[in-house]
Amino acid sequence: MLFTSVSKIESAMPRFGFFAIREFHIAIRDVTHLRDMVSLAQLAGGSPESLEQLAAANDLVYIRFERIDGGDTISEIPAYAGIVPQVNDAVKRIDAILAAGLPFDENSLKELGIELDQIVARMNDEYYKYGEEVNVDLYAAEKNLNRFNYQIAFALTVLSALAIGTAVLLIGRRETISKLEFLAWRDATTELKNRAWMSANRDGLLERARLAGKPLRLFLIDLDHFKSVNDTFGHHIGDLLLKAVAETLQSVERPGEVAAVRLGGDEFAVMAIGHSDDLGHRLREQLNRFADLDGHQVRIGASIGMASFPDHGSDISTLLRNADSALYACTAFRALGPSRRRGGPRRIRTFRPQPRASSTAPSSRPGSSLYSAIGVRSGLGSEAGRQRASTTSLPHRALAISTGGARQKVRKASRNPSQLSALPSRA
């Protein structure tokens, strides 16, 4: 129905008086003016002004009917075709009267005046007859146009409702997806990327580094004395400490190059593509400082273990294992205490591949620096301690290291003892 209304309106539009009715109306006006000038010339036959005005009116009608093509008007108003020759004949006769000069031939002017009156009357009849037909068409077109307007309004209303509904759904869906992604890939406390994100994206980062021919450095970070902060100041201050660490890690993040992750508890990770060793030193400096947490001066301390691709492994699992070994060695070295350390405290440690264990390895024979360190820290320096050492396995003795101030981690006690050989020996 919509297209039917449009086609009806298009078919009726040419008859709405665009060119045809305007042309016909102007023609009636010009012929009427010529008739008036002929009447004026009859009254003042010897006046030069009447001669000029009659000549101007005749020229105007000549231009209208002779020089302007009335084809459009004739096609719409057929009666106009029969009027045009009559008007042209009257114009030629007036030209002859004007050529004769003053005074005018009154009889000729009188005959022309009567003939022009008849032409004007006929043109008016045809004009009004055509106008009635146009009015009928206009009324029908108006109804169609109103119906068309209603249809357009209804269609626009429906489309607007659909567009608004679709926009609301899309915006709501986008917000929902963003929230779900945040909940799935972010840690709620620190807003860092979480372990799930790392599991899903770590292989992609490694492959990107491999394709670019750049190293991938994996830093594992463990906070010092975090449990003591929680126990001393409360979990609120502990959460503020985690957020302070997260701000530091977020400051080194770079989209597609450096990613900071909270693995859980007080453990964090940083994966960096193509960055130099300066990143590790920056992390060490920024994560070992004092921070004002809700009025409390709390020292942020952290141990860092680092492994890099391709030097320390060609896959993520190997890198994680080696970085964890370096972190464990760093933590164990810190637990020895200042009197047993060589070269000062070490907050960051790079993984170093160890040779195969042998009978002369310093990590397994009594008298080695590691054995002595463990004995001192666990009471094995006494005779009773040495007797207990014969029945105590090295992994269990490694756990004793943490009693010097580091957090006790049962999982570290089960590691391969050969990994402890990364600790420096005494001279």
Report how far apart, in Å, the C-alpha atoms of 274 and of each of 33, 96, 218 are: 95, 105, 11
Cα 118 to Cα 204: distance, rounded to the nearest angstrom: 97
403: number of Cβ within 10 Å = 12
> Hey, which bits of 44-203 come out as E strands?
193-194
Report how far apart, in Å, the C-alpha atoms of 388 and of each of 371, 372, 412 are: 13, 14, 21
Based on its alpha-carbon atoms, the radius of gyration of the chain, rounded to whole angstroms, reads: 52
In 3D, which of 53, 78, 82, 50 has the Cα closest to residue 65?
82
pLDDT along the chain (427 residues), means of 10: 56 54 82 90 82 90 73 68 86 89 85 90 83 64 70 85 85 77 84 91 92 93 89 91 93 91 93 82 88 88 91 91 90 60 62 63 37 33 38 35 37 41 38
Give the DSSP letter string of 239-271.
HHHHHHHHHHHHHT-BTTTEEEEEEETTEEEEE
158: number of Cβ within 10 Å = 10
| pTM over 0.75, yes/no | no
pLDDT at residue 43, as a whole number = 85
Report how far apart, in Å, the C-alpha atoms of 168 and of each of 142, 157, 176, 210 are: 38, 16, 12, 43
HSE, CB side, 13 Å, CA atoms: give it for residue 131: 9
Amino acid at 261: V
Asked if 346 and 334 count as a contact pair (C-beta separation under 8 A), the reply is: yes
pLDDT at residue 362, as a whole number = 43
Main-chain dihedrals φ then ψ at residue 251, nearest 5 degrees: -70, -20
Q: Do domains 2-155 and 193-353 have the same CATH topology?
A: no
Cα 27 to Cα 116: distance, rounded to the nearest angstrom: 12
pLDDT at residue 357, as a whole number = 53
Report how far apart, in Å, the C-alpha atoms of 154 and of each of 9, 45, 90 are: 19, 69, 58
Residue 46 makes CB contacts below 8 A (sequence gap 6+) with 102, 103, 104
CATH 1.10.150 for domain 2-155, yes or no, is no
Terminal CA-CA length for the chain: 102
Domain ranges of the chain: 2-155, 193-353, 357-427
Four-way CATH pick for 193-353: 3.40.140.10, 3.90.209.20, 2.70.170.10, 3.30.70.270: 3.30.70.270
pLDDT at residue 156, as a whole number = 85
